[in-house]
Amino acid sequence: MTDEAPRLIFCLFALSAAWAGDGEWPVNGGPYNIRYSPLTQVNRGNVSKLKVAWVYDSHDAFQGSEMQSNPIIADGVLYATTPKMRVVALDAATGREIWGFDPSGGSGGQRRNRHRGVTAYRDRVFFTYRNFLCALDRRTGKPLQSFGDNGRIDLRQGLGRPPEGISISASSPGVIFEDTIILGSTVPETLPGSPGHIRAFDVNTGKQRWIFHTIPFPGEFGYDTWPKDAYQISGGANAWAGLSVDPKLGMVFAATGSASFDFYGSNRIGDNLFADCVLALDARTGKRIWHFQGVKHDVWDLDFPAAPNLVTVMRNGRKVEAVAQITKSGYVYVFDRRTGEPLFPIAYRKAPASSLDGEKLAETQPYPVRPPPYARHGFTEDIVTTRTPEAHAAVLKMVRQLDPSALFGPPSLRGTILFPGTDGGGEWGGAAFDEASGLLFVNSNEQPWIIRMVTHDTKSLYKNNCGECHGDDLRGAPPTFPSLADIGKRRSREELRSIISEGTGRMPGFREFLGGKVNEIVEFLITGKDNGIVDPAAAKDPSWQKYRNEGYLLFRDPDGYPPMTPPWGTLNAIDLNKGDIRWRIPFGEYPELAAKGMKNTGSDNYGGPVVTASGLLLIGATSFDKKFHAYDKSTGKLLWETVLPAAGNATPAVYEVNGREYIAIVCGGGKNEAPSGGWIVVFALE
């Protein structure tokens, strides 16, 4: 740290980081998680004059890496995490690095991490690294020895289960309420499972203050929606996308994920509260105030993909404090913040039954009547791609080999098309809200996935433990589930042993699950010799499942493009006062297709928008054209765009230093085989 660093953070101890002044971006997603900036220096009239103010290169990017931080700015300092999970503090006006901290001690290597930033509060910065919640001194970047064990606590402890075998991390930063940090988690989507309980920790000591069991214990509300022993063995139901806090009401809001295993639930018969729920908890005690379950007994991985937006809408001429929740299926739910009462009608419709042995799906599922969905539902022959005659014929042939596609159409051995897919519809970038207009802005993917079930193979350790993500053929679904073909040419045996044992990215550690047979998996990956036989006792374990999915199969045409007619991605403005869609535009494009005249198709997009009081909607997100955009929030008209060094798959931050407004976006790329990067790019008016 340089001599000037203390001056940059002079007001450090006076700051209440969660609710700072208008010129800062103090929490992930902004206060109330509505991704709104009151700054007006950059506006519709001058946004076209934006120029790069500074660029920070972390030098941490590698093939397949991602960088998804929403930068935090407080007291003129910008905080973010890099692809290799270093935490950096930068001068927010110049980009000069003040300090950096590597939690791996230099041993992190090239392990892909998905991480969305830090929590800054008073004199400390909190972040998660693997199974640890860590605290750093904001002035020096050194671990705070008074917090937990030498600056960190082990998140495997305190879950009500033996920590051995638990795999847990957190891709989204925690939220601050009074003197606690409240945290969700990322856990495996396979079995054996790790529970996704929500917890609060003392910001000074790291001591666990309270826990909300998202898989209820005996005697707790919702316990009867699971088998009696589920609280001991089931996993998931985790608030992986982050939390939102209302400090005035003393409430914290979560949106939870699906239960494990994602696509077959014979060992969790029942509705499975509190999976796939919007949850309102007392922020001081963790007690449930209200909940809403969006998918009952989820076997589609249709978990809520983003933290709730705490919005204010108009009803019958009066303001109502509300919660808006986007979904992977393209719906928006809106509830009264205090009571959970829906502000638009919700219908419950009969859902089809499963053909798989042992499966019992819910008889009905909820459908919001308004607003209308912002994504298409069900993949039908009339939307098959017409990009080329050959692509049309190939996709049509495949569609006819699968079961009919529909929302809540059950997974099967023949296979079905999940559309929207496991990547949405709406995604983890979340939505932005503008109270003045009542508009909620959400970017949406139009990505179909093929879900095909297969019988578990007791003769292959690889297929039993790895095939459902990386595919029986090792090809995976890059980069979410990377290809393992020829992995021995890229990784040593020791590196593979370490990754399989400890986990990386969304992958859990398998040391405990494999019972000492890590070497058999490594041997298969290196040589192709599959000598790893599953222990016969495994089939008697309560977590054993008869079926698994064949793999996460992103449905593409033979040339690698989406298999349906455009749009392949959209940007939407939804009026939460009236329940209508105000405007919708294609969002993103493929540069090589645009060069041939096929423009404005839309494309995959990850990372959310920010809306400003001056009328702008700012968003990167588009994976392949790598653009950063400014739209007129009222109409969707494009006002300005520029090309980033890598895709901005992150939510921007808008802030002010010394009277000058800045717009920052992290450029990490890496999604769906797009090039990776490790930059923070910041714009301002000249």
Q: For residues 68 and 159, what is the distance between their CA atoms, to the nearest angstrom?
A: 28
Torsion sign (Cα): 576, 580, 581, 582: negative
**Residue from 181, 89, 78, 90 nearest 128 by CA:** 181
Q: Give the percent of the chain with pLDDT over 90.
A: 78
**Residue from 632, 589, 582 nearest 609 by CA:** 632
DSSP per-residue string spanning 118-140 = -EEETTEEEEEETTEEEEEETTT
Q: Per the structure block, which two tokens stand in for 676?
A: 């990776």
DSSP per-residue string spanning 384-440 = B--SSHHHHHHHHHHHTTSBPP-TTPPPBSS-EEESSBTTBSS-TT-EEEETTTTEE
Helix, strand or coil, per DSSP, at residue 532: coil
In this predicted model, what pLDDT tens digit does every residue of 152-179 receive, in sequence order?
999 999 999 999 878 899 999 999 999 9
In this predicted model, what pLDDT tens digit does every residue of 286-306 receive, in sequence order?
999 999 999 999 999 999 999
For tokens 């992977």, the residue is 328
Neighbours of 581 (CB within 10 A): 17
C-alpha neighbours within 13 Å on the C-beta side of residue 647: 28
What DSSP element (H or E) covers 230? helix 230-233
**Residue from 686, 682, 683 nearest 80 by CA:** 682
**Does residue 557 contact residue 563 with C-beta atoms inside 8 Å?**
yes
Q: For residues 302 and 277, what is the distance between their CA atoms, to the nearest angstrom?
A: 11
Q: What is the pLDDT of residue 532?
A: 61
Residue type, 346: I
In this predicted model, what pLDDT tens digit does every residue of 390-417 receive, in sequence order?
999 999 999 999 999 999 999 999 999 9
Q: Average pLDDT in the 628-654 region?
A: 98
Residues in a beta bridge with 57: 679
DSSP per-residue string spanning 462-513 = HHHHTHHHH-TTS--BTTTB---TTGGGTS-HHHHHHHHHH-BTTBPP-TTT
- Is 368's pLDDT higher than 70? yes
Q: What is the pLDDT of residue 15?
A: 35
Q: What is the pLDDT of residue 519?
A: 78
Q: For residues 241 and 479, what is the distance between their CA atoms, to the nearest angstrom?
A: 19
Q: What is the pLDDT of residue 471?
A: 76
**Does residue 416 contact residue 405 with C-beta atoms inside 8 Å?**
yes
Domains annotated for the chain, with CATH where assigned, are 5-377+419-447+566-685 (2.140.10.10), 457-544 (1.10.760.10)
What DSSP element (H or E) covers 212? strand 208-212
- Is 17's pLDDT higher than 50? no
Q: Per the structure block, which two tokens stand in for 163?
A: 């920590």
**Residue from 467, 398, 503 nearest 112 by CA:** 503
- Global pTM reads 0.91
Q: What is the signed CA dihedral for 107, 109, 111, 115, rounded to 10 degrees? A: 70
- Is 10's pLDDT higher than 50? no
Q: For residues 76 and 94, what is the distance between their CA atoms, to the nearest angstrom?
A: 10
Q: For residues 296 and 301, what is the distance between their CA atoms, to the nearest angstrom?
A: 11
Q: Per the structure block, which two tokens stand in for 411?
A: 């997974």
For residue 191, what pLDDT band results from cuts at 50, 70 and 90? confident
Q: Average pLDDT in the 501-513 region?
A: 61
Q: For residues 230 and 540, what is the distance between their CA atoms, to the nearest angstrom?
A: 16
Q: What is the DSSP letter of 538?
A: G
DSSP per-residue string spanning 283-296 = TTT--EEEEEESSS
Q: For residues 489 and 494, what is the distance between their CA atoms, to the nearest angstrom?
A: 13
Q: For residues 460 and 514, what is the distance between their CA atoms, to the nearest angstrom?
A: 12
Q: Per the structure block, which two tokens stand in for 518?
A: 């890590």
**What's the count of helices (H) and strands (E) in the chain, helices before strands?**
8, 41
10 CB contacts (<8 Å, ≥6 apart)?
Answer: 75
Q: For residues 173 and 278, what is the distance between their CA atoms, to the nearest angstrom?
A: 18
Q: Give the percent of the chain with pLDDT over 70.
A: 91
For tokens 């929740």, the residue is 325
**How many residues appear in the chain?**
686
Q: What is the pLDDT of residue 542?
A: 55
For residue 651, what pLDDT band results from cuts at 50, 70 and 90? very high
Q: Average pLDDT in the 375-397 region?
A: 97
Residues in a beta bridge with 211: 199
In this predicted model, what pLDDT tens digit does every residue of 670-679 receive, in sequence order?
988 889 999 9
Q: For residues 592 and 599, what is the distance between their CA atoms, to the nearest angstrom?
A: 10
Pairing of strands 439-445, 449-451: unpaired
Q: For residues 204 and 272, what is the distance between their CA atoms, to the nearest angstrom?
A: 35
Q: Per the structure block, which two tokens stand in for 488?
A: 């021995």
Q: Average pLDDT in the 42-56 region?
A: 98
Q: What is the pLDDT of residue 503?
A: 64
**Residue from 598, 597, 590, 601 nearest 623 by CA:** 590
Q: Per the structure block, which two tokens stand in for 572?
A: 């939407």
Cα distances from 416 to residues 425, 477, 596, in angstroms, run: 17, 17, 33
Average pLDDT, the chain: 91
Residue type, 585: I
What's the farthest any 2 CA atoms get from each other in the chain?
70
DSSP per-residue string spanning 292-338 = EESSSS-SS-----SPPEEEEEEETTEEEEEEEEE-TTS-EEEEETT
For residue 539, what pLDDT band results from cuts at 50, 70 and 90? low
For residue 540, what pLDDT band results from cuts at 50, 70 and 90? low
**Residue from 491, 609, 424 nearest 35 by CA:** 609
Q: For residues 73 and 661, what is the distance between their CA atoms, to the nearest angstrom?
A: 12
**Does residue 272 contact residue 231 with C-beta atoms inside 8 Å?**
no
For residue 458, what pLDDT band results from cuts at 50, 70 and 90? low
Q: Average pLDDT in the 442-466 region?
A: 84
Q: For residues 433 and 310, what is the distance between their CA atoms, to the nearest angstrom?
A: 9
467: Cα separation from own chain's centroid: 23
Per the omega criterion (within 30 degrees of 0), is the bond before 143 cis? no
DSSP per-residue string spanning 353-383 = PP-STT----SEEEEESSSPPSS--S--GGG
**Residue from 246, 291, 236 nearest 267 by CA:** 236
